Amino acid sequence: MYVAVKGGERAIRNAHAWLAEERRGDPDIPELTIPQIRAQMALAVNRVMAEGSLHDPDLAALAIKQARGDLIEAIFLIRAYRTTLPRFGTSTPVDTADMAVSRRISATFKDAPGGQILGPTFDYTHRLLDFSLMANGDPPAAPKASADPQPVPHILSFLDTDGLIEPAPHSDATPRDLTREPLELPADRALRLQALTRADEGFLLGLAYSTQRGYGRNHAFVGELRIGTVCVEMEIPELGFAVDIGEIELTECETVNQFTGSKTEPAQFTRGYGLTFGQTERKAISMALVDRALRWRELGEDDQGAPAQDEEFVLSHCDNIQATGFLEHIKLPHYVDFQAELELIRRLRAAASEDAE
Amino acid sequence: MDLLERRNWMGLLARANPERLGDLLGDLPEHSFARAPEIGTVMVQGRTGGTGAPFNIGEITVTRCTLRLASGTIGHSCVQGRNKTHATCAAIVDALMQDTPARFMERILTPLANDASQSASLRHAKAEATKVEFFTLVRGED
């Protein structure tokens, strides 16, 4: 039974007015601007773009401001906005080998051609609070070194040349699209990668960690982690050729994992893959580990019953907007449902006390 | 990159800083819209393992526009972001480049290309400064 109850309008209106006031905070403190959030909270902006599945730093910064820094709420705003826009088309697949890298490291090859480039990383910091950031002051300029740009080929391509790792053969198959059709299982790898790249970072981190601790272990090395910008190119129908329509920052992680092989096939390393919007390396590494764990069937491995191997479990629970929508709805009025439960428990108790008499 | 090739100049205009493009173009020449600037998205694809089968990463916002100059030449643009002025300026320069390439090459595209290569070399120089130079310590065992 559904009973409409009215009477909350004034309370809701006033709650929203108070929310707006709280969002602004103390009026004696200068208000945050969108460019400030975009520039100085860049990693939060990147996370909102990755999980909001829409690359637009200004909109992500606006969403963070509107959501008072609640990133899942901000991601929700971005997902909602995205649905209002027409889609003009699909890019040609980005070429990550041609990335202008700001960071590129390998945990497997010390002397990788192109070198190990640390970039603007938190690694090797001491994780001590820097109280100088509480005072105003500009940091010293980052040092520069001159050298001609060198190509930075994918490190795994060297293993590939020797046949030591499974190939990632080129294909132009049109991938299924989660934003256009509901998730159907079993999913192929392309659909899983789309779900993982927009998945909740915390959920993926937990699952990836579980594989390292033995729940679907696949012993991953980070073969290569790279962050940088790539051009986005799209075929323009009116012109009949493809043009660059912009440039975005991506994080790519390729893992080298333990072997497949048989009596007839020589042993080969296997791969996991992560590719995410922005500088989001924890997410990209997690994605690669979970991608690899989900490939157990294809690689002829045992189902250990581990959560990270369970495609239905992972794909049905990795989206934080679906999750928070269902979770948070239980705080909304359920008066009638609960009334039914109350009636039931009273009847049960009455029946029990009659029996006792 | 040969900027006299249309796909290259269109790419440079799409990646340009909108304010800088507006400044270089100055007053907009007379034009009429065949398709007024419109905001939408493009789904960006990557490849599994960097080289394999395509998959969808997520969308980017874009603005596209088609217009006609007084000369009758038609200009197109599709640029990242939601800036309608950027899309308009890019389509105007696309049309101008078809009419008199030499003039607008020098006035608009060369400065934009210089901006792009400057910011690329700045990033490269900073990245280069964080490149690890391994050395091995001599150990006293043998």
HSE-up (13 A, CA, CB side) for residue B61: 24
Write the residue in A193, A247, A273 that is nearest to B15 by C-beta.
Answer: A247
**Separation CA A336–CA B107 (nearest Å):** 71
Any chain B CB within 8 A of the CB of A54? yes
Residue B100, domain member (yes or no): yes
Residue A211, classed as helix, strand or coil, is: helix
Pick the residue from chain A with its C-alpha nearest to B121.
A149
Contact A274, A156 (CB under 8 A): no
**How many CB pairs (< 8 A) connect A and B?**
230
Write the residue in A115, A234, A239 that is nearest to B42 by C-beta.
Answer: A234
Contact A43, A57 (CB under 8 A): no
Contact B60, A55 (CB under 8 A): yes
Quickly tell me which residue has 């990209």 as its tokens.
Answer: A284
Pick the residue from chain B with its C-alpha nearest to A253.
B49
In total, how many domains does chain B have? 1
Contacts of A280 in chain B (CB under 8 A): none
Quickly tell me which residue has 């080129």 as its tokens.
Answer: A170
| Residue B38 phi, psi dihedral angles, 5° rounding | -135, 135
Domain that holds residue B123: 6-127
Which amino acid is present at B62? V
Cβ-based neighbours of A234, under 8 Å, separated by 6 or more: A88, A89, A90, A91, A92, A242, A243, A245, B42, B78
pLDDT digits (tens, 9 = 90+) for B47-57: 999 999 999 99
| ipTM over the 0.90 cut-off | yes
Any chain A CB within 8 A of the CB of B128? yes
Distances (CA, A) of A256 to A127, A159, A205, B49, B116: 29, 10, 18, 11, 35
The answer, yes or no, to whether residue B44 has pLDDT greater than 60, is yes
Contacts of A78 in chain B (CB under 8 A): none
Contacts of B131 in chain A (CB under 8 A): 115-118, 145
pLDDT in tens, chain A (357 residues): 455 667 789 999 999 999 999 999 999 999 999 999 999 999 999 999 999 999 999 999 999 999 999 999 999 999 999 999 999 999 999 999 999 999 999 999 888 888 899 999 999 999 999 888 888 778 889 999 988 878 889 999 888 888 899 888 899 999 999 999 999 999 999 999 999 999 999 999 999 999 999 999 888 999 999 999 999 999 998 889 999 999 999 999 999 998 887 778 888 999 999 999 999 999 999 999 999 999 999 998 889 999 999 999 999 999 999 999 999 999 988 888 899 999 999 999 999 998 887
Residue B1, domain member (yes or no): no
Residue B28, classed as helix, strand or coil, is: coil
Distances (CA, A) of A276 to A248, B14, B58, B80: 11, 22, 9, 18
Cβ-based neighbours of A212, under 8 Å, separated by 6 or more: A220, A289
**Separation CA A102–CA B119 (nearest Å):** 12
> Which helix H or strand E contains A339, and what residues bound it?
helix A335-356
Cβ-based neighbours of A211, under 8 Å, separated by 6 or more: A217, A218, A220, A289, A290, A292, A293, A306, A308
Hey, where are the domains in chain A?
A: 9-82, 96-120+150-167+180-318, 326-356
CB < 8 Å from B in window 313-352 of A: none
Output Rg (C-alpha) for chain B, integer angstroms. 21
Any chain B CB within 8 A of the CB of A85? yes
Interface test with B, best of A95, A194, A245 (most B CBs within 10 A): A245
Residue-level pLDDT at A149: 79
Interface test with A, best of B6, B39, B55 (most A CBs within 10 A): B55
Residue B133, domain member (yes or no): no
- Contact flag A87-B41 (C-beta cutoff 8 Å): yes
- Contact flag B76-A239 (C-beta cutoff 8 Å): yes
Residue B139, domain member (yes or no): no
Bridge partners of residue B46, in order along the sequence: B55
- Contact flag A50-B64 (C-beta cutoff 8 Å): no
Give one DSSP letter per residue of A154-191, joined into a string. Answer: -THHHHHHTT-B-------PPPP-TTTS---SS--HHH
**Separation CA A117–CA A101 (nearest Å):** 8
- Contact flag A171-B53 (C-beta cutoff 8 Å): yes
CB < 8 Å from A in window 35-74 of B: 38-62, 64, 66
Residue-level pLDDT at A258: 86
- Contact flag B43-A87 (C-beta cutoff 8 Å): yes
Any chain B CB within 8 A of the CB of A141? no
- Contact flag B57-A59 (C-beta cutoff 8 Å): no
Instruction: Please count the other Cβ atoms lying within 10 Å of the Cβ belonging to residue A157.
Output: 18
